[in-house]
């Protein structure tokens, strides 16, 4: 009799587990991405330290999704600050431009209605002309040179120009080397670019560079790019490999040319009002957390920039690597933008920038 009861109980337990199992599988996501959602959710909960009831909420706006190194760096910043302040701050990271695109979010940070943002510098030329030096095509040759700028006196000089505008730069993250993608044809030379409708960031140097190559450039906030490519209102865009892959641009873009024509930072900015209100102790914690998170961000972005080229090929993109001669043709084609913008940026700053890069070799 006892055996029967045990087997009955076992059988019902098994049915229960099967049932709950299939319930959770039903509730669980149907596509392969969604289990990641669950895992990520857990990670988020794991990562979220205990914050105090009266913790000061600090929102950080990100323009890309939760898999991107900009978001991963922001989450690391969250973890460190909450840990080191014992939960006196509740850092909340928002992806996918939920709090606004780069320009809008940065304007809100400047006004003090949003606490922080991780953004490209390129669309901020209205607020920070000095950052345009990063937009000069091919001026940054490699990541070693980039770090020499980011972590050295020239990067500090450029960053410090923001303080008088109500914004404080906490860290230089990496956006990376930008490559051209398009849906129309393989591009191996500037001639191939002629007539292509290319989305650019809202930045005069980017517009001028693609015009110099004969393209038909259209400035647009990042969050509108995927739809514009899907609807063929543009033929292509340019961004680093992690952004192209993590936003699934391969679903609407057939070709990628590894132009590497601009190396851009993502900059972690905090409202100047908020920054000035912090104690010296908290300023130090925020600065250290930002620098630590930048190390993680740059490492992840560089790893993805290498590893994800294969993913793009596997997703069906034709990836064109340029020979040195082919890349020089692009460099020559965009050379006019240097003279066109040197006065606006400042000849002295450009010279300092180039000298820092030279010294890093």
Which residue lies nearer to ligand TK8 by CB, 210 or 222? 222
Give the three-class secondary structure for 174: strand
Which residue lies nearer to ligand TK8 by CB, 98 or 307? 98
Binding site for ligand TK8 (CB under 6 A): 63-64, 102, 119-120, 175, 201, 222, 239, 243
Least spacing, CB of residue 284 vs ligand TK8, in Å:
28
What does the alpha-carbon distance between residue 336 and residue 20 come to, in Å, rounded to a whole number? 65
Beta strands (DSSP E) in the chain are 56-62, 89-94, 116-120, 167-177, 179-182, 197-200, 216-219, 236-239, 255-257, 263-271, 318-320
Residues 173/62, Cβ–Cβ less than 8 Å: no
Task: Give 334's DSSP letter.
Answer: H
Q: Which residue is nearest to ligand TK8 (CB)?
A: 63
Least spacing, CB of residue 102 vs ligand TK8, in Å:
5
Which residue lies nearer to ligand TK8 by CB, 64 or 116? 64
Which residue lies nearer to ligand TK8 by CB, 64 or 213? 64
Least spacing, CB of residue 61 vs ligand TK8, in Å:
9
269: nearest Cα among 356, 350, 176, 165: 165
Q: Cβ neighbours of residue 103 under 8 Å, at least 6 residues apart?
A: 123, 124, 202, 221
Which residue lies nearer to ligand TK8 by CB, 181 or 239? 239
What does the alpha-carbon distance between residue 23 and residue 64 come to, in Å, rounded to a whole number? 32
Least spacing, CB of residue 37 vs ligand TK8, in Å:
21
Least spacing, CB of residue 10 vs ligand TK8, in Å:
54
Strand order in the sheet with 89-94: 89-94, 56-62, 116-120, 263-271, 167-177
Which residue lies nearer to ligand TK8 by CB, 119 or 179? 119
Least spacing, CB of residue 240 vs ligand TK8, in Å:
7
Which residue lies nearer to ligand TK8 by CB, 155 or 240? 240
Residues 156/148, Cβ–Cβ less than 8 Å: no
Q: Could you give phi then psi for residue 96, rounded to 5 degrees?
A: 55, 35
Least spacing, CB of residue 225 vs ligand TK8, in Å:
7
């Amino acid at each position: 009799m006892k055996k029967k009861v045990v087997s009955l109980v076992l059988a019902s337990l098994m049915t229960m587990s099967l049932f709950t199992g299939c319930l959770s599988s039903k509730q669980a996501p149907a596509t392969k991405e969604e289990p990641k959602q669950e895992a990520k959710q857990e990670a988020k909960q794991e990562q979220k330290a205990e914050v105090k009831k009266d913790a000061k909420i600090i929102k950080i706006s990100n323009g890309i999704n939760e898999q991107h190194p900009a978001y991963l760096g922001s989450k690391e910043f969250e973890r460190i600050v909450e840990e080191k302040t014992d939960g006196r701050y509740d850092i909340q990271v928002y992806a996918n431009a939920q709090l606004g695109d780069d320009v809008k979010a940065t304007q809100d940070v400047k006004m003090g209605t949003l606490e922080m943002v991780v953004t490209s510098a390129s669309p901020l030329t209205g607020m920070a002309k000095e950052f345009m030096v990063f937009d000069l095509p091919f001026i940054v040759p490699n990541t070693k040179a980039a770090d020499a700028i980011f972590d050295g006196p020239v990067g500090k000089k450029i960053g410090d120009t923001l303080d008088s505008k109500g914004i404080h730069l906490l860290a230089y993250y990496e956006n990376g080397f930008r490559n051209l993608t398009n849906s129309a044809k393989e591009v191996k030379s500037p001639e191939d670019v002629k007539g292509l409708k290319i989305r650019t960031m809202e930045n005069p140097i980017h517009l001028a560079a693609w015009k110099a190559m004969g393209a038909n450039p259209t400035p647009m906030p990042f969050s509108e790019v995927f739809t514009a490519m899907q609807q063929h209102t543009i033929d292509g865009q340019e961004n680093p490999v992690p952004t192209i892959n993590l936003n699934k641009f391969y679903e609407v873009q057939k070709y990628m040319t590894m132009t590497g024509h601009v190396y851009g930072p993502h900059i972690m900015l905090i409202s100047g009002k908020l920054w000035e209100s912090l104690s010296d102790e908290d300023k130090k914690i925020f600065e250290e957390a930002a620098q630590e998170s930048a190390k993680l961000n740059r490492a992840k972005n560089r790893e993805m920039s290498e590893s994800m080229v294969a993913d793009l090929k596997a997703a069906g993109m034709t990836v064109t690597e340029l020979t040195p001669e082919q890349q020089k043709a692009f460099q020559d084609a965009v050379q006019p933008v240097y003279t066109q913008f040197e006065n606006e940026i400042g000849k002295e700053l450009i010279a300092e920038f180039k000298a820092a890069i030279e010294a890093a070799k």
